[in-house]
Amino acid sequence: MEKKPELKPEEAAMELVACFPAKVARKRSKQIVINEVGPEEQVPEVMANVRTIPGIITMRGCSYAGCKGVVLGPTRDILQITHGPIGCGFYSWATRRNQTRPATGEDTNFMPYALSTDMQEEQIIFGGEKKLKKAIEEAIALFNPKAIGIFSTCPVGLIGDDVHSVAREMEAKYPGINIFGFSCEGYKGVSQSAGHHVANNKVFTDVVGLIDEPKEGKYKVNLLGEYNIGGDAFEIERIFEKAGLTLHSSFSGNSVYEEFASAHTADLNVVMCHRSINYLAEMMEKKYGIPWFKVNFIGAEASAKSLRKIAEYYGDKELMDKVEEVIAEEMKEVARVRDDVASRCAGKTAMMFVGGSRAHHYQDIFKEIGMKTIAAGYEFAHRDDYEGRKVIPSIKVDADSRNIEELKVTADPEKYRDRLTEADRKRLGDEFKFKNYEGMMPDMDPKTLVIDDLNHHEMEVLIEKFHPDIFCAGVKEKYVVQKYGIPMKQLHSYDYGGPYAGFQGAINFYRDIDKMINTKVWSLVKAPWDDSPELTATYACDQAV
């Protein structure tokens, strides 16, 4: 594909919606903005977390995918039963690349299993609760789990099956097994985001706080919003251990039930994917007094910054020194690979449209090898993920958000414990930014495009107009982009590479991007005869006659 002349973002924004019917164009225009960062980090308002327009080829999925697939899926010892027809359970079976590492070969690991009630017409007509109960009994007999999650799919809500009462009934019948249901029917909300919220609520009310024994360790940190795609959590765990931090639990990559249940005993919550788990961070702070702040372990600089921030939180000299030592040591190899890769990648451009945090996090790591992000957006974010949490009070709650329960949380009379003394608060000051996320836009260059819920048509226009050197999105987009002769990195599955988190992860990422951008393959796309399809030359053998 030929490089196109520089295109003004204003023109691009108009071209993106040019062929849409007027009503559609009006709506989409509010979801497409040209970034500008003001003095107080003010950025333009972007419309987000609104319904996808029917007929538009969207990147989004559903609430069930967000709840079962994203948040609960990576937990290896909660037995997960999908209540619904077979499809939903089938598609969420082992396709998300969450890795898990049981301590021994005998330890519980349900992750390679997909359980479903495979509802048939009969249950749609007469109700499916009976079959669900029977399925739970059969599952207990086979797997003997300590906890069971039941996930509702579209028809379950419609026919009125009450998964929560089934859960209560079965729990009474099988004391000792924690059984809970999720109302994560696919039509709830406008995207996966609703499912994250539903998952957060239930894990909070039914699991967190049940076990009061903390893990051994001096500095106990919960890592929220890290799903161990391609082994990311393993790498973060390695760094934590090296620095002397205890990873108490990670929500929910490489996780087990007990870690959730005792998560309230930790000293600190750090949040990776803000969108998928900010609810849990908020609620744990209110109920148990655990402070939280945002971190990012994608990119070596970001990882170093996050580690320093955690050490600063504890304010312990020994820890701070150790962290510096780890960073210095890890950075040596990072810098070597980074500089080498940057010599081939610097100045190249990227676009990324994924999830609800990755489109932000990955801009940092691209920057490290000198690459510039010219357009980015989220699949299912809310305004705060773009503009920062300060806009939360001004976000209008619409009908689609209203049907996701907001829990009223108060301090637990026994278990609440303020982690910070007055002196700590003073030491850390306002600068420290607890419970804050500044959003993606303040970190993006002025005049770059920010597009919420990008759709297929707009993606085509972006590619044709800007011809980025790399495009990042999900599997549904991958082969479209590649047909244009542009490398496409999947940031959900990492194209089966990774880990990309932490220092080793950064090295993996630099190398993978280098390989993709600088592969010779793209030069094969054009055949030798493509340039001169007409036959004009005479053959040497003809002349010889």
Least distance from ligand SF4 to the Cβ atom of residue 45, Å: 21
**Rounded to an integer, what distance in angstroms lies between the CA atom of residue 343 and that of residue 212?**
52
Supply the minimum distance, in Å, between the C-beta of residue 410 and another protein.
Answer: 29
Shortest CB 439 distance to ligand SF4, Å: 14
Residues whose CB is less than 8 angstroms from the CB of residue 142 and which lie 6 or more positions away in sequence, other chains included: none
174 class by beta-carbon count within 10 Å (0-12 exposed, 13-18 middle, 19+ buried): middle
Interface with another protein, residue 169, by CB under 8 A: no
- Is residue 155 involved in binding another protein (CB under 8 A)? yes
Is 62 near another protein (CB under 8 A)? Answer: yes
CB 298, CB 500: distance < 8 Å: yes
Secondary structure (3-state) at 2:
coil
Q: How far is CA 19 from CA 23, 28, 239, 420, 461, in A?
A: 11, 12, 50, 55, 11
- Beta carbon of residue 96, minimum distance to ligand SF4 (angstroms, whole number): 9
Q: Are 333 and 510 in contact (CB under 8 A)?
A: no
Cα 452 to Cα 32, 350, 455, distances in angstroms: 6, 17, 9
Residue in 29, 36, 31 with CA at minimum distance from that of residue 60: 31
Residues that bind ligand SF4 (CB under 6 A): 70, 84-85, 87-88, 153-154, 186, 227, 273, 275-276, 354-358, 492
| Residue numbers annotated as active site | 62, 65, 96, 196
Q: Please choose, from the candidates 454, 463, 502, 456, the residue with its C-alpha nearest in 3D space to the C-alpha of residue 486.
A: 463
Q: Which of 399, 423, 535, 541 binds another protein (CB under 8 A)?
A: 399
Phi, psi (rounded to 5 degrees) for 509: -65, -50
**Residues 2, 12: Cα–Cα separation, whole Å:** 17
Q: Which does 15 bind (CB under 5 to 8 A by kind): ligand SF4, another protein, none?
A: none
Contact partner, 303, from ligand SF4, another protein, none, Cβ < 5-8 Å per class: none
By a kind-dependent CB cut-off of 5 to 8 A, residue 106 interacts, out of another protein, ligand SF4, none, with another protein
CA atoms within 13 A on the CB side of 306: 27
Q: Is 81 in the site for another protein (CB under 8 A)?
A: yes
Closest CB 387 distance from another protein, rounded Å = 23
Q: Tell me the torsion sign for CA atoms 388, 390, 391, 396.
A: positive
| Closer of 10 and 137 to another protein (Cβ) | 137
Binding flags for another protein, 190-209, as an x/- string (CB under 8 A)? xx------------------
Closest approach of Cβ 349 to ligand SF4, in Å? Answer: 22
Judge whether 8 and 15 are in contact, CB under 8 Å: no
Q: Which is nearer to ligand SF4, 288 or 380 (CB)?
A: 380
* Angle, helix 300-314 to helix 232-243, in steps of 10 degrees: 40
User: Is residue 50 a contact partner of residue 398, using CB atoms and an 8 Å limit?
Assistant: yes
Asked if 21 is part of the footprint of another protein (rule: CB under 8 A), the reply reads yes
- Select the binding partner of residue 400 from another protein, ligand SF4, none (C-beta < 5 to 8 A, by kind): another protein
Q: Tell me how far, at minimum, the Cβ of 16 lies from another protein, in Å.
A: 12
Among 333, 480, 495, 511, binds another protein (CB under 8 A): 480
> With CB under 8 A as the contact rule, which of the stretches 114-122, 170-178, 358-366, 430-438 interacts with another protein?
114-122
Residue count at the site for another protein (CB under 8 A)? Answer: 91
Residue 485 binding: pick among ligand SF4, another protein, none (C-beta 5-8 Å cut-off by kind): another protein
Select from another protein, ligand SF4, none the partner in contact with residue 123, using the beta carbon and a kind-dependent cut-off of 5 to 8 Å: another protein
The C-alpha atoms of residue 316 and residue 419 are separated, in whole angstroms, by 14
Question: What is the sign, positive or negative, of the torsion defined by CA atoms of 528, 531, 535, 536?
Answer: negative
The 3-state secondary structure of 256-318 reads CHHHHHCHHHCCEEEECCHHHHHHHHHHHHHHHCCCEEECCCECHHHHHHHHHHHHHHHCCHH
Query: With respect to another protein, which residue has the nearer C-beta, 30 or 113?
Result: 113
Least CB distance to ligand SF4 at residue 453 (A):
13
Asked if residue 117 binds another protein (CB under 8 A), the reply is: yes
Q: 179 vs 263, which CB is nearer to another protein?
A: 179
Among 33, 43, 78, 88, binds another protein (CB under 8 A): 88
- CA pair distance 300, 29, nearest whole angstrom: 36
How far does CA 71 lie from the centroid of its chain? Answer: 9
Find the shortest distance in angstroms from Cβ 186 to ligand SF4: 6
Angle at 253 between CA 88 and CA 513, to 5 degrees: 95
Window of 182-190, 197-205, 243-251, 276-284 that interacts with another protein by CB under 8 A? 182-190
Residue from 7, 91, 411, 465 binding another protein (CB under 8 A): 91
Complex with another protein: residue 134 or 515, whichever CB lies closer: 134
Give the residue, chosen from 6, 39, 40, 106, that forms a contact with another protein under the rule CB under 8 A.
Answer: 106
Consecutive H or E run containing 251:
strand 246-252
Closest CB 378 distance from ligand SF4, rounded Å = 7
Binding part of the chain for another protein, among 183-191, 275-283, 315-323, 329-337 by CB under 8 A, reads 183-191
Binding partner of residue 275 among another protein, ligand SF4, none, CB cut-off 5 to 8 Å per kind: ligand SF4
- What span, in angstroms and rounded, lies between the C-alpha atoms of 170 and 198? 21
Distance CA 93, CA 112 (A): 7
Of 190 and 290, the one with the shorter C-beta distance to another protein is 190
What does 131 bind: ligand SF4, another protein, none (CB cut-off 5 to 8 Å by kind)?
Answer: another protein
Nearest position to ligand SF4, beta carbon: 355
